[in-house]
Amino acid sequence: MTHALLELHGVSRAYRTAAGEVVVLKDVSLLIDAGEFIAIIGPSGSGKSTLMNILGCLDRPTQGSYCVDGAATEQMSPDELARLRREHFGFIFQRYNLMENLSATENVALPAIYAGVDASTRTARARVLLETLGLGERTGNRPSQLSGGQQQRVSIARALMNGGAIVLADEPTGALDHASGQQVMAELKRLHAQGHTVILVTHDASVAAHAARVIEIADGRVVADSGAGGRAAVQARSAPKRGQSSRAERRARLDGVREVAHMAVRSMLAHRLRTLLTMLGIIIGVAAVVTVVALGKGAQAQVESQINELGASTLEIFPGTDFGDPRSAEIETLVVADADHLAALSYVDSVSPSLSGSVAALQGSRRANTQVMGVGADLPRVRGLRLKAGRFFTDAEVDAHRAVGVVDQKAAAALFSGSPIGSTVLLGGMPVEVIGVVGASAFAGGATPTVYVPYTSASSRLLGSQRLESIIVRVRDNVSTTAAEASLAAELQLRHGRRDFFIYNADQIRKAVMKSSQTMAALVSAIAAVALIVGGVGVMNIMLVSVKERVREIGVRLAVGARQGDILRQFLIEAVLICLFGGVLGVLLAFSAGALSSLLSLGVPFLFTAEPVLAALACSSAIGLGFGYFPARSAAQLDPIQALAAE
Ligand code: ADP
Ligand code: MG
């Protein structure tokens, strides 16, 4: 069965308006063969453009059927129609419809992006086309740097980019002076001579005279048709390889992404202030999150290093059930033998028994109330105490109940004017030789002047009690304090036959600090999340405005064969780029806050790590995707005709 290239059968097009249904095309039937040169003429408002748009698959009939190369278009999806536009048609508009921010070459190459032609091939072909149209010198010009006639020739080149077997020109000379109009007509005749099917709309009889076949329309009906004056079908020169394979499709998509990213950056730079304001919410949100996380991490690291200094993995065993247990004073089972037993365990680093009392100290004419701590020789190791002068007492001195003592700096200051080493203090009447000075420890004393003496001496000669107040255990560094705690508890329970003790784990402090910093981080993250959402809404707003501003551009893209997905992707990429840029600026802002703080040595502990930065960037991209989707979808679903008609 043979068929004409384009077949219209009983085509009508009606518009629904407020005043009711308006039928602008009425029962039009036409057969158009390949290689014809047709002029459609008629008065303004007669339906020429409507017919043209239907022929070009930009619009659909409300009644009747339209076949392109034997394929019925009625049931086709928007993307299938886009494929027809890409592969068969080239549009030339009265108002050129070039994109202002693209060069002549880029404008011409645009349809090839959607056809999946690679960048170098498309640029080369665009240059060749521009050269044949006498624009070899103007390839880099923007449309505003070209005359009307030149712009129309650029748009002819664009129509030919994908092959343009059928060239549709709606009043191509309508906006041009006579000479430029002649030039454009000469080009169209040349195309016809090369085998292209050319259909042009005009209301100018002298323009129509160039055509072999003239179809006259009045009030939506074909009133005259000079008849098929076409020759035997001549196939138009084939286009460069079209993107049919999936590889070409993928490359087209990738290429499209690159082109879109390029365009997005350009339009962002063109509207710098607006872009910055759009990004502000994202910038603030990201900067807040990154700063707060860095502060939290810094504070945590500070506290941890302090805890580590105190003896990172220290457990202290007390008699009773908890602090404040009234019966703990009667429990006599926690003894030195327990400490010796624990010291032999493999996961225990060092152990010190501990008992204490408040004792008046006398040195010469000075006196002070001190806390006397009876401890073992290993205490500095257990507690992480640092010697400032002299030495700590030895195991031998402990075993011998020697009356030697080590003072902390508070006690040294309260009782001595010079170096205390070698002096003797009276502790509750017992003379004790001072052999060393230690730094203050946040654990032991700190507020009260403290004197450390062997626990043997303390219990037998000073405090008169064998009962230990506690056993301090430092576990090995690579051992979990929680596991050690459980094991120590089991060990002691076995020895005592019951659980008459409790264990205080310094790790609890660390956990408490972590917990409070986590609470703080959660709180600020919630605030930042609100800022990000507000920022996202801002981005959505701007994207909606951007879609509105660029409806015509979208129309042109659709006309040259962009799929809905291409448009969707374009606006999504723009939204993501805006948000990602905002995120990067936010991260930089946080970094500079950290740098400023360390520059002014404010002592604020910033600790930047990769995860929150990456998370913030991922989050802002996701916001771009989320909040950009609605505007992008509204752009993708635009009707090509309405988009092209937009001002
Ligand atoms: P021509 O190109 O011949 O000047 P058109 O095809 O553009 O005419 O329009 C034909 C008629 O259809 C005109 O009367 C116009 O007002 C009407 N028309 C075009 N587009 C619409 C629309 N979207 N809604 C309602 N009426 C429309
Ligand atoms: Mg018109």
Q: What is the pLDDT of residues 262-304, one digit of tens each?
A: 877 877 787 788 888 888 888 988 898 888 888 878 877 877 7
Q: Which amino acid, 229?
A: G
Percent with pLDDT over 90 in the chain = 46
49 lines ligand 1 (CB under 6 A): yes
Q: Which amino acid, 88?
A: H
Task: Determine the atom of ligand 1 nearest the C-alpha atom of 43.
Answer: 3
Query: Is the model's pLDDT at 441 over the cut of 70?
Result: no
Domain assignment present for residue 251? The answer is no
Q: What is the CATH number of the domain that holds 46?
A: 3.40.50.300
Q: Evaluate whether 314 touches 383 at the Cβ level (below 8 Å).
A: yes
Query: Is the model's pLDDT at 240 over the cut of 60?
Result: no
**Cα separation, 451 vs 369, whole angstroms:** 10
Query: Is the model's pLDDT at 305 over the cut of 80?
Result: no
Domain assignment present for residue 483? The answer is yes
Q: Which bound ligand lies closest to the C-alpha atom of 48?
A: 1
Name the residue of 11, 13, 17, 22 to mutate for ligand 1: max ligand atoms within 8 A of Cβ. 22
**Cα separation, 218 vs 490, whole angstroms:** 103
Domain that holds residue 595: 257-302+512-645
24 lines ligand 1 (CB under 6 A): yes
| 107 shares its domain with 135 | yes
Interior angle at CA 188, CA 185 and CA 190, nearest 5 = 110
Tokens of 164: 């343009």
| 610 shares its domain with 583 | yes
**Domain closes at, from 244, 272, 290:** 244
What is the 45 CA–ligand 2 centroid distance (Å)? 7
What is the 46 CA–ligand 1 centroid distance (Å)? 8
45 lines ligand 1 (CB under 6 A): yes
Q: How many CA atoms lie within 13 A of 385 on its CB side?
A: 30
| 321 shares its domain with 206 | no
| 27 shares its domain with 119 | yes
Residue 238: per-residue pLDDT: 42
Residue 228: per-residue pLDDT: 55
Domain assignment present for residue 79? The answer is yes
At 309, the pLDDT band (50, 70, 90 cuts) reads low
44 lines ligand 1 (CB under 6 A): yes
Domain assignment present for residue 170? The answer is yes
| 545 shares its domain with 570 | yes
47 lines ligand 1 (CB under 6 A): yes
18 lines ligand 1 (CB under 6 A): no
pTM for this entry = 0.70
Residue 245: per-residue pLDDT: 60
Domain assignment present for residue 252? The answer is no
**Domain closes at, from 505, 538, 564:** 505
What is the 157 CA–ligand 2 centroid distance (Å)? 22
Q: Tell me the residue ranges of DSSP E strands in 275-365.
A: 314-319, 348-363
482 lines ligand 1 (CB under 6 A): no
Q: Evaluate whether 593 touches 287 at the Cβ level (below 8 Å).
A: yes
**Domain closes at, from 505, 537, 556:** 505
Closest CA to 166 of 67, 55, 81, 242: 55
| Total domain count, the chain | 3
| 13 shares its domain with 135 | yes
Range of lowest pLDDT (40-54, 316-330, 481-495, 542-556): 316-330
| 212 shares its domain with 266 | no
| 188 shares its domain with 40 | yes
* Cβ burial 253-268 (10 Å sphere, 16+ → b, else e): bebbeebbeebbeebb
Residue 386: per-residue pLDDT: 84
Query: Is the model's pLDDT at 409 over the cut of 80?
Result: yes
Residue 239: per-residue pLDDT: 45
Task: Determine the atom of ligand 1 nearest the C-alpha atom of 44.
Answer: 4
| 337 shares its domain with 479 | yes
| 85 shares its domain with 218 | yes
| 289 shares its domain with 150 | no
| 337 shares its domain with 484 | yes
